[in-house]
A and B are shown apart, each in its own frame.
Chain A
Amino acid sequence: MDILFAALGFRSAAALRLGASSTDSELVSRFVAGERAAFDEIVVRYQSRIYSLCLRWLGDPEVAEETAQDVFVAAFRALGAFRGESSFSTWIFRIAVNHCRNVRLHRNRRGYGRHEAIHAPRGDDEELPARQVADEADPGADRGVHQREAGSLVQAALAELEDEHRQVLILRDVEDLAYEEIAEILDLPRGTVKSRIHRARVELANRLARRVRAADVL
């Protein structure tokens, strides 16, 4: 029976019975065939990954959500033209990267200045947020607090990186994409991606080290 289903281009009968999720290409095919609900499945499947990318890149949760929504709206409009020459995830990440890049440029022009991470302490010579200082003053602070601090440090250090360094780090270490996928998304040679990731990691490590030292001093 499964062979028959496969021959007819369907998922296996067992998969259908178990309600196994569709592949990306199946969802795209259903959408192109006119099934609007297929797009809802795509949104559910990719919402966290796209939102994470936008949040790590842009820092502001509100801006990140608005941008992520824009990404899906753009994908909805263009999905009929998706030809499957790259994987769907590469395609939608490329849309997201372009949107984030545009939002960053727009915000920079509008005077928002450099990225400001919401949870993050500011630069090396600035004071840590009052809450963080209070937490550090409490020797009994729990592990969650330390995790939040670590997260804030990472986010702040990430925010200070150049755009081209930040984007490759997000794609590689947050989204866990392979070099080849990143190269395709950013339209760069693999070797460029590899060296850029190396420089970005060195830069991030140095900035984190400075922040940790600053925090220790406080």
Chain B
Amino acid sequence: MDTFFARNRLSAYLDGDLSAAEAREVEAAIARDAGLRAEIEQMRAAIELLRAEGLVSAPVGFAARVRERVDDEPMRVGWRLWVTQIRPEAVMLAAAALLVVVYVGHRREHPPATIPSSEAVATGGALGGDEGGVDGNQSPAPPAEVQAATPPVDTTEAVASGSTRLNDGVLGNEMPRAQAEAPQSQSLAERLPKRRASAGGVPVEPWQPDWEKEAVEPAPEDMPGEISFYAPAPFRYRVAARDGRALKTLAAIAAELGGELQDSRGRPVAAWSLEEGDSRSVRVAVPAYNAAALAARLREVGEVETIVQKDTLLADPNADVPVQVELLY
């Protein structure tokens, strides 16, 4: 080991932190080199002086003064320590998350009780007006070129489906986001595509923006037979009517229970008679506390099959809930 390496190991040598072989090499280097010998003696003297200083006793009364200071401190053990370690940011985040959960839960269990009036729908305000923004937000109008490219709509089916969508959207649970964000300057009837047969009899699907597709494509299971209610009501029943007066019977029951019979577009029922082979989809908006009674009394109309019955909506008994009835005769 040369002097350089030995010099860099003097401290470790004095601490006894070298292997036996290394220590012997350092000793040999020290024996050879007088400068190294002087250096290690100087270092040893410095260490001895430092160690001679040693520990200094704490001032008299030190422990008592510390005790005085900690006497005012709560002992942070167990849950107290856990609480003190929570960061304020985490508390705020948790509070915000809790608020969101509570709000969403509230919205789910207490949907807005208002059902769009027949007048609002009948005047063409279906989704084109204020109701379109379920949360009160007005969506921006589409670009001019989109409006220009949007084909006119004329099918009754589309209008009917639009009104049904409206009801569900107002109820607050199932309105698709795309629909909520759709431009509101047009009614849904205007935005729905034409379903015309081409000259060859093949249906032609006109161009349609993406945000419209979800709004107009009904879920297959929501289209039993020819009856169109695209978005499901929270209570849905299928009734095999006993006679052609079923609609009148149902209207009477609805009136007794504080409700009103409407057609699938939310308008008052116009045609009351049922012919054999007819199928009609109607709605009855009744207070939630009467929803079960209505379901029970449907047996007066005919044989009842329950399709959907979301009991959670009964959490607010005073809220109106729509009951969808599919009458088959």
Contacts and interface: CB of A to CB of B under 8 A. Distances in A.
Contacts of A27: none
Interface string A187-207: 000000011011001101110
B56 A55 contact: yes
A179 B11 CA distance: 12
A169 B80 CA distance: 38
A147 to B, nearest CB: 8
B26 to A, nearest CB: 12
Nearest to A204: B46
Nearest to A147: B52
A47 B59 CA distance: 9
Interface string B8-40: 111110010100000000000000000000010
Interface stretch (A36-44, A91-99, A102-110, A126-134): A36-44
Contacts of B70: 39, 72-73, 76
Interface string B152-176: 0000000000000000000000000
Interface residues of B, number: 40
Interface stretch (A8-16, A18-26, A61-69, A135-143): A61-69
Nearest to B10: A198
A40 B10 CA distance: 41
Chain A contact-residue range equals: 35 or more
Given A31-B77, A39-B70, A201-B11, A47 B63 contact: yes
A183 interface: no
B77 A80 contact: yes
Interface string B47-77: 1011111111111001101110110010111
A174 interface: yes
A69 B62 contact: yes
B204 to A, nearest CB: 72
Nearest to B59: A65
A72 B62 CA distance: 11
B198 interface: no
Given A61-B59, A77-B76, A208-B49, A69 B81 contact: no
A201 to B, nearest CB: 5
The interface centre, meaning the residue of B49, B52, B54, B78 with most chain A CB atoms within 10 A of its CB, is: B49
A78 B51 CA distance: 31
A40 B64 CA distance: 9
A81 B47 contact: no
Contacts of B273: none
Interface string B206-217: 000000000000
A201 B63 contact: no
A121 to B, nearest CB: 15
A55 B67 CA distance: 20
B63 A76 contact: no
Given A61-B59, A150-B52, A208-B49, A34 B66 contact: no
A151 B75 CA distance: 40
B81 A34 contact: no
29 contacts: A43-B66, A44-B63, A47-B58, A47-B63, A48-B55, A48-B57, A56-B53, A56-B56, A72-B70, A73-B70, A76-B70, A77-B73, A77-B84, A80-B80, A81-B76, A81-B81, A151-B49, A154-B52, A154-B53, A155-B53, A157-B46, A172-B15, A173-B51, A194-B11, A194-B12, A197-B11, A202-B39, A205-B42, A208-B46
Given A32-B77, A151-B53, A173-B51, 5 more contacts: A34-B75, A47-B66, A172-B15, A174-B50, A198-B11
The 7 A-B residue pairs with the shortest CB-CB distance in the complex, in nearest-first order: A198-B11, A80-B77, A80-B81, A47-B58, A205-B46, A51-B58, A205-B42
Interface of B: 8-12, 15, 17, 39, 42-43, 45-47, 49-59, 62-63, 65-67, 69-70, 73, 75-78, 80-81, 84-85
Interface of A: 31-34, 36, 39-40, 43-44, 47-52, 55-56, 61, 65, 68-69, 72-73, 76-81, 147, 150-151, 153-155, 157-158, 169, 172-176, 179, 194-195, 197-198, 201-202, 204-206, 208-209
